Chain A
Amino acid sequence: MKHIHPVKKYLILGAIPLMLSCSSHYMLVKSNRTDYNMNSNQPVDSAVIKTYLPYKIKMDQEMNEVIGHADVLMEKLDKKDDKPVAENLLRNFFSDALFHEALKYDPTIDFAMPSTNGGIRVALPKGDIKLSNIFEVMPFENEMMVYVLSPADVQNLLEYIAKTGGQPVAGLRMKIVNDKPTEVMINGKPLDPTKNYKILTSDYVAEGGDNVQSFKNPIEKKIMGIRMRDALITYIRENQAAGKTINPKLDGRITKD
């Protein structure tokens, strides 16, 4: 192949751009972004409604039952101006209701942290409380648990509450100073740092949910056998039956410097 025939040479040269044109590639040159708010200005797809309607009808028959009445809107207000909120109405209602229900079965419980802030999912409306509201505020199948904790583990829990800027509690008061618990009162009495305490919580929190580590080595542990959602429903129904409305208050149970 010392001499390349001119025709061959032409063919070879011609083949190169041909090959290249087969192997086209793509280069990212531009990106435009937006988002759409799914508000009432958006049209609806009736095919989708047709799909969910049979499910909805069946569900609503159960869920639209009014089980009680709230005097105030209980917002899920966990942060304000990007800072943790120490106490809110929703948490107080949630904690007080479950503490009340648990005390029926065990009056010796000292205080309650039945959930973390993240476990209380949505706001509760002012006015009629429907069964569906309770399913949304507490959608999980978690159960109430009672733990007896050593002074060290109680301290660990109090520090968790302080460090995170406040959690849902009942039967407990504290002032958070420099992210530490101070002036802790349990059931109206100052914290006794030598005493074991009996605490109402959930299986989720007790198993280390949201990185709560305080319940790993309990002195005693009891499964109450009551789902938290069921306890909330019972509490609201009982108030309704007694002619009482749900009217939680901010009482300064947790304050932050």
Chain B
Amino acid sequence: MEELLKINRRNFLKTGGIAAAAAALNLNAFDAIAAGDLVKLTILHTNDVHSRIEPFPMDGSKYQGLGGTARRSALIKSIRASENNVLLFDAGDIFQGTPYFNKYGGELEIKLMSEMNYDAATMGNHDFDNGLEGFHKQLPHANFPVLCSNYDFSNTLLNKSTLPYQVFKKQGIKIGVFGIGIKLAGLVGDRNYGDTVFLDPVKTANQTASLLKNELKCDLVICLSHLGYKYNTDRDSDQLLAKNTRNIDLIIGGHTHTFMDQPEDVLNLDGKITTINQVGFAGINLGRLDYYFERYKGKRIKTAAPYTISDQLDS
């Protein structure tokens, strides 16, 4: 029991209800995984990489020497080598920020993401910087889907280029992932987004998340969002999105270049946890969230119990 208490203190428990059970689970995690009763899913993510292929130059600036695709790729490879179920996502603004984009139009950014085996990405406002045509032109280099649920591209060049959502399967777990983009008017030049129709982010997210969780029976629903973490005004943000929706477990955010000390856990409309995370910009950090699922037999439980949350990995 002393052991349990120790773990309880170390882990930040959101709710007491299943604390003891979860702590016990923590102790026996290896056995449970070996028995197939516990499935571990690892989510890795970036946002606002902004064409930062190489680390920031050593020039005395704040982020000198940080970032770089070669390091990120090595880390991703090592995580993939030790974990069975890894998914890698990006929350947009892949383009713009170094001369690589000015010179090559985003070709290298997309090629490297494909090489790192990104599983999906959404579009940020800067991904429109060379117009719809500029983005479209680089898509042949992508071996991952671009997910946008609230940009209606029907009347544009991109009408067959994106998907609203994608369902991934990992060891029996279904993960539904969709993309939410920021309002383009006032942020992106009119010509650059053309006849793209912007749909309400909260409403669209709610519909898409409900579809993924309730109809397509996903065990985890992830939103790749380029809305931005939070604002002082009532502008759509990840915080507003989390509070005003149901069925989203995780929002991987971007746009505001926010370095969060730790992910934020918000109670959504159902009183359940929607986690928001964002890892700054330029590939300075790589975010990681491990989700553990326990297999049970019988009917689907509608009122899922709260789960334990810790801001450190199991060693």
Residues on A lying within 8 angstroms of B by beta carbon are 20-21, 23-40, 42-49, 51-52, 55-56, 58-59, 62-63, 73, 75-76, 121-123, 125-127, 131-133, 135-136, 139-141, 203-204, 207-211
Contact assessment for A139 and B189 in the assembled complex, using a CB-CB cutoff below 8 Å? no
Q: Given A38-B75, A38-B285, A123-B61, are A30 and B22 neighbors across the interface (CB < 8 Å)? A: yes
Check: B300 CB closer than 8 A to any chain A CB: yes
Chain A residues with CB under 8 A of B140: none
18 sampled A-B residue pairs with Cβ under 8 A = A24-B295, A24-B297, A25-B295, A26-B293, A27-B296, A27-B304, A28-B307, A34-B311, A36-B285, A37-B66, A38-B67, A47-B73, A51-B112, A122-B61, A123-B62, A125-B57, A125-B60, A139-B51
**Which of the listed residues A27, A32, A56, A63 has the most CB atoms from chain B within 10 Å of its own CB?**
A32
Chain A residues with CB under 8 A of B65: 39-40
A46 to B73, CA, bound (A): 9
A44 to B68, CA, bound (A): 9
Q: Given A30-B291, A30-B308, are A47 and B296 neighbors across the interface (CB < 8 Å)? A: no
Q: Given A29-B22, A30-B26, A121-B97, are A24 and B286 neighbors across the interface (CB < 8 Å)? A: no
Q: Given A40-B65, A207-B189, are A27 and B98 neighbors across the interface (CB < 8 Å)? A: no
Q: Given A25-B298, A211-B186, are A46 and B312 neighbors across the interface (CB < 8 Å)? A: no
Contact assessment for A45 and B187 in the assembled complex, using a CB-CB cutoff below 8 Å? no
Closest to A121 in B: B97
Contact assessment for B286 and A135 in the assembled complex, using a CB-CB cutoff below 8 Å? no
- Which of the segments B100-108, B146-154, B204-212 contacts the partner chain? B100-108
Q: Given A29-B292, A34-B313, are A73 and B61 neighbors across the interface (CB < 8 Å)? A: yes
Contact assessment for B98 and A136 in the assembled complex, using a CB-CB cutoff below 8 Å? yes
Q: Given A32-B289, A33-B262, A56-B54, are A48 and B104 neighbors across the interface (CB < 8 Å)? A: no
A127 to B59, CA, bound (A): 9
Closest to A142 in B: B189
- In the assembled complex, the CB of B294 is this many whole angstroms from the nearest CB of chain A, namely 5
Contact assessment for A21 and B297 in the assembled complex, using a CB-CB cutoff below 8 Å? yes
Check: B55 CB closer than 8 A to any chain A CB: yes
- In the assembled complex, the CB of B116 is this many whole angstroms from the nearest CB of chain A, namely 8
Chain A residues with CB under 8 A of B62: 75-76, 123
Q: Given A49-B70, A63-B99, are A27 and B297 neighbors across the interface (CB < 8 Å)? A: no
B residues 22-49 in Cβ contact with A at 8 Å: 22, 25-26, 38-39
A131 to B249, CA, bound (A): 44
Contact assessment for B305 and A27 in the assembled complex, using a CB-CB cutoff below 8 Å? yes
Check: B96 CB closer than 8 A to any chain A CB: yes
Chain B residues with CB under 8 A of A126: 59-60
Check: B190 CB closer than 8 A to any chain A CB: yes
Contact assessment for A26 and B173 in the assembled complex, using a CB-CB cutoff below 8 Å? yes
Contact assessment for B96 and A28 in the assembled complex, using a CB-CB cutoff below 8 Å? no
Partner of A33, one of B21, B55, B68, B263: B263
- In the assembled complex, the CB of A125 is this many whole angstroms from the nearest CB of chain B, namely 4
Contact assessment for B289 and A31 in the assembled complex, using a CB-CB cutoff below 8 Å? yes
Contact assessment for B60 and A27 in the assembled complex, using a CB-CB cutoff below 8 Å? no
- In the assembled complex, the CB of B196 is this many whole angstroms from the nearest CB of chain A, namely 16
Check: B236 CB closer than 8 A to any chain A CB: no
Q: Given A29-B18, A34-B311, are A139 and B97 neighbors across the interface (CB < 8 Å)? A: yes
Partner of A28, one of B75, B108, B291: B291
Chain A residues with CB under 8 A of B288: 33-36
Chain A residues with CB under 8 A of B275: 31, 33
Q: Contacts A24-B295, A207-B189 known; list 12 others, CB within 8 Å.
A: A23-B298, A29-B293, A30-B291, A30-B308, A31-B292, A33-B287, A39-B66, A45-B74, A49-B70, A51-B108, A208-B185, A209-B187
Contact assessment for A55 and B100 in the assembled complex, using a CB-CB cutoff below 8 Å? yes
B residues 273-287 in Cβ contact with A at 8 Å: 275, 277, 279, 283-287
- In the assembled complex, the CB of B109 is this many whole angstroms from the nearest CB of chain A, namely 10
- In the assembled complex, the CB of A171 is this many whole angstroms from the nearest CB of chain B, namely 26
A59 to B311, CA, bound (A): 41
A211 to B66, CA, bound (A): 32
Contact assessment for A38 and B283 in the assembled complex, using a CB-CB cutoff below 8 Å? yes
Partner of B186, one of A31, A43, A208: A208
Check: B3 CB closer than 8 A to any chain A CB: no
Contact assessment for B219 and A42 in the assembled complex, using a CB-CB cutoff below 8 Å? no
- In the assembled complex, the CB of B85 is this many whole angstroms from the nearest CB of chain A, namely 12
Chain B residues with CB under 8 A of A208: 185-186
Q: Given A25-B298, A75-B62, are A35 and B287 neighbors across the interface (CB < 8 Å)? A: yes
Check: B90 CB closer than 8 A to any chain A CB: no
Chain B residues with CB under 8 A of A75: 61-62
Contact assessment for A45 and B77 in the assembled complex, using a CB-CB cutoff below 8 Å? yes
Chain A residues with CB under 8 A of B310: 30-33
Contact assessment for B297 and A23 in the assembled complex, using a CB-CB cutoff below 8 Å? yes
Identify the 8 closest CB pairs spanning chains A and B, nearest first. Answer: A125-B59, A45-B73, A44-B70, A26-B293, A42-B71, A45-B74, A30-B292, A135-B99
